[in-house]
Amino acid sequence: MDFNDTSEEARFREEAAAWLAENAPTDEAFRALSPLEQAKQWQKCKYDAGWACIGWAPEFGGRGASPIEEVIWRQEESRYDLPASFFLIGQGMIGPTLMAWASDEDKARYLPPLASGEEVWCQLFSEPAGGSDLAALRTRAERDGEDWVINGQKIWTSGAHYSDYGVVVVRTDPTVAKHKGLSYFYVDMKAPGVEIKPIKQLTGDSDFNEVYFTDVRVSDSQRLGEVGQGWQVSLTTLMNERAAIGSSFGQMDVSLALSVAQEVEIDGHPALEDAAVRTKIANWYVQESGLKYTGYRSLTALSRGALPGPENSIGKLVGAPKMQAMSSYLMDLLGASGAIADEALATKAGIIQRAYMGAPGLRIAGGTDEIMANIIAERVLGLPQEPRLDKGIPFNEVPTG
Amino acid sequence: MNFEFSEEQQMLREQARGFLTEHCSTSVVRAVLDSNEDWDAGLWKKVADMGWTATVIPEAYGGLGLSYYELAILAEEMGRSAAPLPFSSSLYLASEAIRHFGNESQKSEWLPKLASGECVATVAMAERAGRLVLDQLQTRRTDSQITGHKVPVADASVADVAVVLARSDQGLEACLVPLKQEGVVISPVLTFDTSRGHSAITFDRADAQALGDAPLDPADWERVIDGAAVLFAWEQLGVAESALIQARDYALQRFAFGRAIGSYQAIKHKLANMYVKNTLARSNAYYGVWALAEGSDELPLAAATARVAAIQASTYAAEENIQTHGGMGFTWEFDCHFYYRRAKLLSLAIGSEAVWQDRLVSALTEQTVAA
């Protein structure tokens, strides 16, 4: 075993690194832009040189790169401090959905500007009544000639306020069973009747929105998949919710814990010498190292041209609770001053406090801990689903509590 | 990135699994548990005939000269089948100590017989309850005679020779002590896993030679223990996988309140947690065997990480496998207890969880300083 690139991979890495060294913006003028402006400018720069969405086919703006090349590109790009998150949902989840379900005309129209960052997309799935049970959504679309009229409310929509388009799954037939009455559309986020309200999170930030639809008209040509096939189309989107291989959970890692435990004292000795502290740090390292080398195993599969196994499904289920546990414990070590979030005064500039406040969101977003455990149990271990009381019943007869 | 076993190694895994499925089914483990035997001698012969006991011993000493990757694969399969064999004592510990510290004549005398499986070796370390402290060992060697008391010693009753940790005027030593001699009294010690015999050994001026005729640098000894920890981790991982599979199969087949118990989230989440721990343990075991096989400086960290992860995964899976089975899991008749015994037994050998958590953080601190 080794951790080296194959000669082909090494050549690709070199090419990518060389281009990045030449082109990655570091100048003051760039830094002065807003994060979204920075992201758009950088994305367009990559697109023009053939380095945007490199796994996509050339006609959509990519270069047909292999999965391992995509990983290498991400590793190299992440060496630079560049904003990327604005396009993750559109390029990572919606692009593949358009490729699988959209007409050739729509693919040609929408994929290149999605790759170039000129158009940003968001995903309108969750609803107040449909989170973990996504298919319980109630936003409805009713047929009106060549159009559909959408009414309802979506929630937890990242980036709705700066998106040009969105994909939305709606109920087109409430008289059939839950999963059978759904259809999938793309919508213009600037269309009349679309109203976006930011949600203030417990952190005080607003990363998500509520999106209200009031008599929003969309053309039938904006439908992806057949009427009633919306659930299958949604699954394409969700399957591309990438378990970003080898991704870490911010700066909350064991090296930070070691550093805090060396600075803080217990009974006149560095906390790092305390057996209980060492036990905690060892356990976190087991998790961190386990995720890292799980990622390496998946990369090896990609490098060999194979599909990675299901092992990466553990990432968020391990990483998010670890982030919460670790930040909580490090604040305990700091004692009363663990409460200080002021960047100028706090140990580690408030990273620990921000991690603790953000961790509940990570344990919920993209599948709660409980849903992730269900997914492992059902898809990896082959255990049966819970019996569902709404199974086979027309949606409008399902108890709603 | 090439962080995977080779095709040949994967084939060895399939071959080993097939062989042990046939020759070491749970009825074989049960037969040893039900008897007064300390092992399955016939199975040891078969395993030796397959060449497994020769895996990493160099060809010059009658071994196959293969790598630790192959031995790790075999270790996992041994764990999966909860084999009633002295594999860990003889291969991961004693043979390694002889190979690393022995002089030419010691190696020539013992390694070929250990490779062929005609002899079994073990390591005698513990003397009393609590963590092993190398500079407080009471067993003494003077001239060529050793005196002291070691308890418990795994597999001593079936071993021909032991590597005994002792002290002499020069300091720490790993002494080579043939067990079939006057001056060595081996008495059985009851443990909770009688599918692997354990003993107390009293040495009364028994013939002994220091391996390499020299005192042992404790750091060199710890290096051998690190290597053994990686191999123990692979064996423990095998135990963990068997416990998970058994729990999963039972959860699918057992019905309560009109449905398979595996459809209840209480059971699903328990099994998902097992899968998570097993996956972390497997990936860390890869890291461990990579460091061992490639002779990396990261071995102390990799070994401790693999060991802690494997202890956690195997004890959790074994405990919760019984819980998943309910009352039947608590019976002698069901096989669940094989993994419960073996997971804990392997977790107590060569230092338990807290010892390795401590070693992990020490290694991490040293590695961070070095980097």
Any domain includes B2:
no
Boundary (domain end) residue, out of A71, A86, A116: A116
pLDDT of amino acid A250: 65
Same domain? For A297 and A222 the reply is no
Q: How far apart are CA A115 and CA B253, in angstroms?
A: 49
Same domain? For B202 and B276 the reply is no
pLDDT of amino acid B313: 98
Mapping DSSP to helix (H, G, I), strand (E, B) and coil, where does residue A257 land? helix
Any domain includes A246:
no
Any domain includes B343:
yes
In angstroms, what separates the C-alpha of A378 from chain B's closest C-alpha?
8
- Say if the Cβ atoms of B2 and A300 lie within 8 Å: yes
Asked if pLDDT for residue B151 goes beyond 80, the answer is yes
- Provide the CATH number for the domain around residue B241: 1.20.140.10
Same domain? For A272 and A180 the reply is no
List chain A pLDDT tens, one digit each, 401 residues: 999 999 999 999 999 999 999 999 989 999 999 999 999 999 999 999 999 999 999 999 999 999 899 989 999 999 998 987 899 999 999 999 999 999 999 999 999 999 999 999 999 999 998 888 999 999 999 999 999 999 999 999 999 999 999 999 999 999 999 999 999 999 999 999 999 999 999 999 998 999 999 999 999 999 999 999 999 999 999 887 654 444 556 678 999 999 999 999 999 999 999 999 999 999 999 999 999 999 999 989 988 888 888 888 899 999 999 999 999 999 999 999 999 999 999 999 999 999 999 999 999 988 899 999 999 999 999 999 999 989 889 999 998 87
Q: How far apart are CA A30 and CA A272, in angstroms?
A: 42
- Provide the CATH number for the domain around residue A90: 1.10.540.10
* Total domains in the fold of chain A: 3
**Binning pLDDT at 50, 70 and 90, where does residue B124 land?**
very high
Q: What is the largest CA-CA distance in chain B?
A: 73
Amino acid at A178: K
Residue ranges making up the domain that contains B295 = 218-370
Residue of B nearest to A381 (CA): B248
Exposed e or buried b per residue across A270-303, where buried means at least 16 C-beta atoms within 10 angstroms of its C-beta: ebbebeebbbbbbbbbbbbbbbebbbbbbbbbbb
Mean pLDDT is lowest, of A203-207, B59-63, B331-335, for A203-207
State how far Cα A5 lies from the chain centre: 27
Chain A residues whose CB is inside 8 A of the B354 CB are: 275, 279
Q: How far apart are CA B161 and CA B180, in angstroms?
A: 8
- Say if the Cβ atoms of A289 and B263 lie within 8 Å: no
Any domain includes B11:
yes
- The CB-side HSE value for A78 (13 A sphere, CA atoms) comes to 12
Q: Counting one residue from A and one from B, how many pairs have CB atoms under 8 Å apart?
A: 161
Q: How far apart are CA A195 and CA A204, in angstroms?
A: 21
Mean pLDDT confidence for B281-300? 98
Same domain? For A198 and A291 the reply is no
Residue of B nearest to A312 (CA): B279
Same domain? For B195 and B235 the reply is no
Closest CA to B76 of B232, B238, B231, B227: B238
Any domain includes A80:
yes
Residue of A nearest to B274 (CA): A377
Active site residues of A: 241
Per the confidence metrics, is the pTM higher than 0.80? Answer: yes
pLDDT of amino acid A292: 93
Same domain? For B225 and B200 the reply is no
Same domain? For A163 and A75 the reply is no
Closest CA to B159 of B85, B216, B55: B85
State how far Cα A214 lies from the chain centre: 28
Residue ranges making up the domain that contains A315 = 254-365
Mean pLDDT confidence for B19-40? 97
DSSP state of B316: H
pLDDT of amino acid A248: 52
Any domain includes A168:
yes
- Provide the CATH number for the domain around residue B130: 2.40.110.10
Question: What ipTM score was computed for the predicted complex, to two decimals?
Answer: 0.96
Chain B residues whose CB is inside 8 A of the A3 CB are: 1-3
Same domain? For A58 and A95 the reply is yes
pLDDT of amino acid A241: 67
Query: Touching check for B268 and chain A: CB below 8 Å?
Result: yes
Same domain? For B234 and B364 the reply is yes
- Say if the Cβ atoms of A384 and B294 lie within 8 Å: no
Any domain includes A388:
no
Q: Is A306 left (phi over 0), alpha (psi -120 to 50) or beta?
A: beta
For A276, residues 6+ apart whose C-beta sits below 8 A from its C-beta are: none
pLDDT of amino acid A243: 46
**Mean of the per-residue pLDDT values of chain B:** 97
pLDDT of amino acid A249: 61
**Helix residue ranges, H only, chain B:** 7-23, 26-34, 41-49, 68-80, 87, 95-101, 104-116, 218-253, 265-293, 299-325, 336-348, 353-370
**Residue that wins the pLDDT comparison between A312 and B78:** B78
Mean pLDDT confidence for B275-294? 98
Q: How far apart are CA A60 and CA B204, in angstroms?
A: 82
The percent of residues above 70 in pLDDT, for chain B, comes to 100
* Total domains in the fold of chain B: 3
